[in-house]
A and B are shown apart, each in its own frame.
Chain A
Amino acid sequence: MSKPRTHPTARRDFLSRVGQGAALAATGGLVWSYLLHQQARANPAAVRPPGALAEADFNAKCIKCGLCVRACPYDTLKLAEVGEDVAIGTPYFTPRTIPCYMCEDIPCKVACPTGALEPGLEDITKARMGLAVIDIENCLSWQGLRCEICHRECPVQDTAITVEHHPRRISKHAMFVPLVHSEYCTGCGLCEEACPTDLAAIRVLPPKLVQGKIGEHYRLDWKIDTPVTQEFRPSEAAPSEPQTGLPSALDYLNEGEP
């Protein structure tokens, strides 16, 4: 094999072509990844089927086959079409139109071939499709009317939605207002579908859009059954015995730290 003689500019030509190709690929890749990120963020308010992983993981794992959509006996689930404001090809539902009726065997999750719907979800009441949020300015109960339809429709009745007394401004009668408990709300949306106002006053939204977080340094002594340490964090273990020998709160305030 003889070494092929190359013209001095041949190598330069080759290198510049390689460079051009790489630049083109990089530009294309940037535009492409921009499109991907835009798509993934299409609608953070989309309500996903039960067991759906966190949005980023769900977007990665969902293969957009629609087997969950076909498995749903109530036609609740839809695949996002191009042009809709939900990430392309992914399953979602609109609770106001058709909510999730919380099948005990969770057929959508069973149908999912990739595990984008958590295969470990066995109990439908553990599903967290979203969280019902009440617009108290438009909720009939909050106007003093006896509505409470959401409370009666709720499949996790008296647990996910309870009815509470609330003092009323214009009379001595109390209002009965619904209260959603995030710990138990599955986000099925039966409440949103049933809400009698023109636009639903109770809506299902992804929890991360609506849920706040109390700082760990707040001492809610009346709520938590663990003593709060000086680091302002709940201690790991529950106390076995009430601690004795500590100065009372009154002493603490009047006499300063011991």
Chain B
Amino acid sequence: MSAPRKRVRLGPNGRPVRPFVMPRILSGRLWVWRYILMRRAVQIAVLVLFLGTVHWGWALAGRPLLLGNLSSSELLGLVPMADPFATAQILLTGHLLEPRVLIGAAIVLLLYGLLGGRSWCAWVCPINPVTDLAAWLRGRLGIRDMFHISRSIRYTVLALALILSALTGMAAFEWVSPISMLHRELIFGMGLGWTAVLGVFLFDLVVLRHGWCGHLCPLGAFYALLGRIAPLRVRFDTPTCTHCGECARVCPEPQVLNLKKASEAGMIRSGECTNCGRCITVCPEDTLRFGLRVPGAGSAMPPQSVISQRRES
């Protein structure tokens, strides 16, 4: 190993900055990978539930387990679920909808409203493994971004999707969504939907890091708005942070890790956080953890040093 440095870098709280070290033993690595493994498991489980119900007739008490797809589905033939963004687009085309799909959209809205908005993106969306792979690969290959665009452009795309739905009389995003194309074709048989997915993959790999999920996707933007009020958050409320920056290096949405704002609020407030948990697993000081949005909790236990350093500057 390299010789010890002359000066140990100290964090704003006076503690020495330690880098994140990937454990050598498997159990340690699995522990670091716990959220990514759980996310993949959930993503696959959702897909397998749909597939199993359709192709192998999975049922519980004679009721089909999970019919349909992520646009609209039925759990046990009883509980309707529907993509609230797709539902909003259809409503904007000026068409009334049956109560079933409205109830389904409300259920999903409530679900992700509780589970942290963009938890959809990191834990359920079938495009997420594709863009994660692209991001990992471009890190390995050292590919630079071809250009930079604002991460807020997704809200423009979101607005555009809603406006175009009203103007064209068709649910604008549903007709071009690579998410729906991939998911639909995984369940109903492959067509050329993979070309759209390949497009997203190449865009993320070659053109812009986290280009689709982090910049363009209007569905992500929709859930980001929902995430602003969601109770499940990544909490940041212990004074152990040394500003080592490990969390921002692995975060697919690093703008959400504004540590000043986070320490004031006691949590990552931005709805753009996907609750993927990467930051939690790499934090060498265990500062970050999943928790609930508690009003005022941040001011109750602020990392004093961080605030005293950052304030009045």
Chain A residues with CB under 8 Å of chain B are 21, 25, 28-29, 32-33, 35-37, 39-40, 56-57, 59-61, 63-67, 69-70, 78-84, 87-89, 111-115, 119
Contacts and interface: CB of A to CB of B under 8 A. Distances in A.
A82 B69 contact: no
B72 interface: yes
Interface stretch (B7-15, B37-45, B95-103, B281-289): B95-103
Given A29-B163, A60-B95, 13 more contacts: A25-B160, A36-B168, A63-B82, A63-B174, A64-B174, A65-B82, A70-B67, A80-B191, A81-B192, A82-B196, A84-B191, A87-B175, A115-B101
B168 A65 contact: no
A65 B188 CA distance: 10
B82 A113 contact: yes
A59 B172 CA distance: 11
B97 A114 contact: yes
Interface in B144-202: 156-157, 160, 163-164, 167-172, 174-176, 180-181, 184-185, 187-193, 195-196
B71 interface: yes
A66 B176 CA distance: 17
A149 B68 CA distance: 37
Interface residues of B, number: 51
Given A63-B82, A63-B83, A36 B97 contact: no
B206 interface: no
Contacts of A114: 72, 90, 97-98, 100-101
B164 A32 contact: yes
Contacts of B211: none
Nearest to A115: B98
B192 A82 contact: yes
A63 B87 contact: yes
B97 A67 contact: no
A82 B191 contact: yes
B98 to A, nearest CB: 4
A79 B95 contact: no
Interface in B88-135: 90, 93-98, 100-101, 104
Contacts of A82: 181, 185, 191-193, 195-196
A83 B191 CA distance: 6
A102 B291 CA distance: 53
Nearest to B101: A113
Which among A21, A35, A37, A114 has the greatest number of chain B C-beta atoms within 10 A?
A114
B87 to A, nearest CB: 7
A80 B68 CA distance: 15
Contacts of A81: 184-185, 188-193
A40 B83 CA distance: 21
A67 B184 contact: no
Given A88-B175, A89-B174, A66 B187 contact: yes
Nearest to B103: A113
A21 B149 CA distance: 11
Contacts of A59: 169-170
B175 A36 contact: yes
A60 B93 contact: yes
A191 to B, nearest CB: 27
Contacts of A32: 160, 164, 172, 176
B212 to A, nearest CB: 15
A59 B169 CA distance: 8
Which among A78, A79, A82, A112 has the greatest number of chain B C-beta atoms within 10 A?
A82
B101 to A, nearest CB: 4
Given A65-B73, A88-B175, A36 B82 contact: no
Nearest to B173: A32
Contact of B95 (A40, A57, A65, A113): A57
